[in-house]
Chains A and B, each alone.
Chain A
Amino acid sequence: MTTYLLRRLITSILVLFGVSILVFSIIHLVPGDVVTAILGRQKVSAQEEAQLRQQLGLNDPIPVQYWHYLSKALHGDLGESIRNHVPVSQSIAEQLPSTIALAFSALILALVIGFVLGLTAALKHGSWFDTLAMSLSVSGLSIPTFWLGLLLILLFSVSLKWFPSISTGSSFSALVLPALTLGLPETSVVARMVRASMLDVLGKEYITAARAKGVRESAVILKHALRNALIPVVTFVGLQMAYLLGGSTIVETMFARQGIGRLAVQSISNRDYPMVQGVVLVVAVIYVVMNTITDITYTLLNPTIRLK
């Protein structure tokens, strides 16, 4: 068990090391000269060009550049934006809470609706409700996030005028449509997972034994079945939270909402490489850390793995 946990941690550290190399390489993999690519058609003096080259640290040998990048990043210094000269870490710190709020709301929504749908479908297995819930879930998996968002805007913003189509500020109403857009497709995944997991557990011998002993049906479901059926869902929560942070890119852009996803898209369009590197690095680190925590939690929760 300890060996497994130790190995898992070492793997994650190696991956993070690789992530830092890849993110550092972004600026060097740009076809041609990166400074020319950043400046585009702008006419600047040779001195300004040299200054930009200096700011990006391009005059040093590549291993030295990487060492500088890594040591600064470990101290929270991710460089400075080429466009507005604000520290990258400051911009990310300003935008991240908004993205976390969005991802968290979407996850809660997906868990609540998906859980109710999946559980009811499993308990009414083979009924019209089961068929309807699963048909909705297949449709939910096929619907593109960006189209769902537009349909929600058409319905709730244009026709009913309930919620704004532009998500500015931190009010509840500004969060509803983005959270629905990001969370509804995940609802399908949760519903399918809870249903499959419950059906699997309900067929187990210990459930039959509990029923044979005369345990009340509600107790069988709540105490015996649900507890075991929730183990895969725990894994899902960890993975999806990290995934939703990345997935917020489209939703934030669509609703003109503050957040690191929108910051990434804007930085790509502006060819603001330090900002792109910063956002990609932060999201990847969050993703790896969340995956590692999820794996470890799953191992600790699951008795069959824990005993090994």
Chain B
Amino acid sequence: MTAETSQPKIRIDSPGIRVLRRTFRNRSAQVGFAILLVFILACVGAPLITHADPDAIDPSNTLHVPSRTYPMGTDGIGRDVFARFLYGGRLSLWVGLVAIAIGGLTGTTLGMVSGYFGGWLDASISWVTDILLAFPDILLALAIIAILGPGIVNAMIAVGISFIPSFMRLTRSNVLAVREMSYVEAARALGGSNTEIILTHILPNVMRTLLVLVTLGIGSAILAGAALNFLGLGAQPPTPEWGAMLNAGQKYIRQGWWLTVFPGLGIFFTILAINLIGDAVSDAVAGTVVLSKTK
């Protein structure tokens, strides 16, 4: 046996991989992933699970209690709630993802520019962000809906814009710390362009902390989107969406409990799952994950 073969192999992973590995090892995150996977598979595979048309009205079968034929009952105009639950979940999840993509991309770009270039650009962007932060979350979204008008796409944009300030702030504070690092100065001394330095040296270092905000943000965005839909300012009838279904179900609260219970459970478990994953990502990023618990 040679000396080389007896030495243990040291595997050096990138910080991103380490965060992912720690997250997957966390038991709460595993539960979160399991719940989320079930929901995603059920919603995406809706046509395979049920053949019922989510918009098909059946006046002879209104407010049918949950049964083998209708696992989640029927609504006030005889539509299959289970089919609407599955198809509606697609839209609820989609609202969260699109909104966070809008808020995340815009906020991160603004934070990068603000933190990296500083000066009047930083002052102006920070001022606009402070103004946006002067509105309680839902109110900012409502103000944007007032401008754009009700509708599901506008709800996604409204929720997305309301997330810009948090992404901008976090990115900016990280960039301020990273831009003074010696490797950034070295890259600058070697003649690297600003775009090159931002994309290759600063962005990767900011990504880890942003990951926490993205994960927890998706949950908050789904919730905010569902709230707008519940208020009747997002998805318009007959489009199924969990928030909109709760809004419609409230009219029949005395006749059909299932109309308010099932869509709410969908939102609750999705947010719970995302919060569990988000907490684990947060622990993993902070590097303080209790490995002994997960081993």
Contact = CB atoms under 8 A, between A and B. Distances in A.
Interface of A: 11, 14-16, 18-19, 21-23, 26, 29-31, 37, 138-139, 141-147, 150-151, 153-154, 158, 165, 242-243, 245-247, 249-250, 253-254, 264-265, 267-269, 273, 276, 280, 283-284, 287-288, 291
Contacts of B260: 147, 150-151, 154
Interface residues of B, number: 43
Contacts of A22: 131, 143
B264 A280 contact: no
A243 B138 CA distance: 9
Contacts of A273: 146
A37 B149 CA distance: 9
14 contacts: A11-B130, A14-B127, A14-B130, A15-B131, A15-B134, A18-B127, A23-B143, A30-B149, A138-B272, A142-B219, A144-B227, A165-B253, A268-B142, A280-B146
B131 A153 contact: no
B250 interface: yes
A145 to B, nearest CB: 7
Contacts of B139: 246, 249, 264, 280, 283-284
Contacts of A153: 253
A243 B219 CA distance: 19
A13 to B, nearest CB: 12
B142 A280 contact: yes
Given A18-B130, A143-B271, 10 more contacts: A23-B143, A142-B219, A142-B272, A144-B227, A144-B267, A246-B137, A250-B231, A264-B139, A265-B232, A268-B146
A2 to B, nearest CB: 22
Contacts of A11: 130
B231 A31 contact: no
B223 interface: yes
Interface string B78-116: 000000000000000000000000000000000000000
Contacts of A141: 275
Interface of B: 127-128, 130-131, 134-139, 142-143, 145-150, 219, 223, 226-227, 230-233, 243, 246, 249-250, 253-254, 257, 260-261, 263-264, 267-268, 271-272, 275-276
A142 B232 contact: no
Contacts of B131: 15, 18-19, 21-22
A146 B244 CA distance: 11
Contacts of B261: 151, 154
Given A154-B253, A165-B253, A273-B146, A246 B136 contact: yes
Contacts of A245: 136
Contacts of A253: 231
B230 A265 contact: no
B235 to A, nearest CB: 14
Contacts of A16: 134
Contact of A30 (B137, B147, B232, B267): B147
A169 B149 CA distance: 31
B223 A31 contact: no
Nearest to B272: A142
Contact of A145 (B128, B227, B276): B227
Contact of A268 (B127, B150, B257, B263): B150
Contacts of B128: 18
Contacts of A151: 260-261, 264
B273 to A, nearest CB: 9
B230 A249 contact: no
